[in-house]
Amino acid sequence: MIIDLYSRKVLGWELSDTRTVELTLSALNKAVRRRNIESDLIFRSDRGSEYGAYAYQNRLKELGIESSMNRPGFMNDNVYVESFFQTLKTESFKGFNFESVEELRTNLAWYLDSYYNFKRRHGSLGFKSPDEYERMAA
Q: Is the pLDDT of residue 39 over 80?
A: no
Mean pLDDT on 95-117: 92
Rounded CA separation 4/133 (Å): 12
Q: In the prediction, which pLDDT does 63 show?
A: 94
pTM: 0.87
Is residue 24 very low, low, confident or very high in pLDDT (cuts 50, 70, 90)? very high
Is residue 96 very low, low, confident or very high in pLDDT (cuts 50, 70, 90)? confident
